[in-house]
Amino acid sequence: MTEPESTDERLPAYVIEGARSSRSRCKSCRRSIDKGSLRIGFLIEGPFGTGYLWHHLRCAARRDFGRVEEAYRAEAWNAAKERPKDLPSLEELGRARDEALEKKMARRELPYVEVAPSGRSKCKQCGEIIEKDSLRVVLGRSVEFGRQVRTTPIHVHPRCVAPALAAEDSATETEGFVEALRANSDEPTGGFDGVIGEIGSIGL
Ligand SMILES: [Zn+2]
Ligand SMILES: [Zn+2]
């Protein structure tokens, strides 16, 4: 076997472009990709031929940032028939990926304690801001979706844990709370004692 003499016909591994029709479907979110919206194609060479699997550019960045990085390094927009407009920077896509990761982390086992990564979250119990870099406690709250009841994570101040646990829609057990908190959390700087002291009596 010899290598083909010309690589001209080889398709590039990645294409970034504005979708040329509305017929492609994003392999990440399964929704259709509107004409003109940014998509990235991953080349696949299978037994049934060669072609691209398309993703919304932002979906791909959330799912597989490494490949999007590679496509940016390869300047995959040069493989497009028409150079796409309004291409987000890799940094911007990276931030979207981080946010998605953060959401994923929120699906960890509850309850746990963590450092507030920003000053943007509000305590679900008292409504006040949870300061950046301070410790916040993540509890479960029951929320109805139609006929289903699901547990969704809420953030509260350590001092607000007791009233939050006493709330009717609390989905976190009071019994064994401190043990569960220790087991589910990374040990905060300065240990657990401070935050557990701040939580105080939770009405056992
Ligand atoms: Zn998508
Ligand atoms: Zn609070």
Q: What is the CATH number of the domain that holds 191?
A: 3.30.1740
pLDDT tier, 145 (very low <50, low <70, confident <90, very high otherwise):
confident
Closest ligand, as measured to the CA of 130: 2
User: Over 80: is that where the pLDDT of 164 sits?
Assistant: yes
Domain limits at 117?
106-199
Q: Tell how far the Cα of 167 is from the centroid of ligand 2, in angstroms.
A: 13
Tokens of 168: 């009717």
Query: Which H or E run contains 165?
Result: helix 161-166
99-108 own/partner pairs: CB under 8 Å, 24+ apart: 100/62, 106/138, 106/153, 107/153, 108/138, 108/184
- pLDDT top residue among 68 and 189: 68
Q: Tell how far the Cα of 178 is from the centroid of ligand 1, in angstroms.
A: 40
pLDDT in tens, 98-137: 888 777 766 678 999 999 988 989 999 999 999 999 999 9
Nearest to 170 by CA among 203, 127, 145, 141: 141
Tell me, yes or no, whether 204 lies in a domain.
no
| Listed residues 101, 133, 155: the one ending a domain | 101
The radius of gyration of the chain's CA atoms, rounded to the nearest angstrom, is 24
CATH number of 94's domain: 3.30.1740.10
Closest ligand, as measured to the CA of 63: 1
Q: Tell how far the Cα of 165 is from the centroid of ligand 1, in angstroms.
A: 37
Q: Is the preceding peptide bond at 4 cis, omega within 30 degrees of 0?
A: no
Average per-residue pLDDT for the chain: 90
Q: Give the C-alpha separation, 38 to 149, whole Å.
A: 36
Q: Tell how far the Cα of 76 is from the centroid of ligand 1, in angstroms.
A: 18
Tell me, yes or no, whether 4 lies in a domain.
no
Tell me, yes or no, whether 8 lies in a domain.
no
User: Over 50: is that where the pLDDT of 2 sits?
Assistant: no
| Listed residues 78, 101, 124: the one ending a domain | 101
Q: Tell how far the Cα of 121 is from the centroid of ligand 2, in angstroms.
A: 11
User: Over 80: is that where the pLDDT of 157 sits?
Assistant: yes
Q: Tell how far the Cα of 126 is from the centroid of ligand 2, in angstroms.
A: 4
| Listed residues 69, 101, 133: the one ending a domain | 101
- Tell me, what's the pLDDT at 171? 94
Closest ligand, as measured to the CA of 33: 1
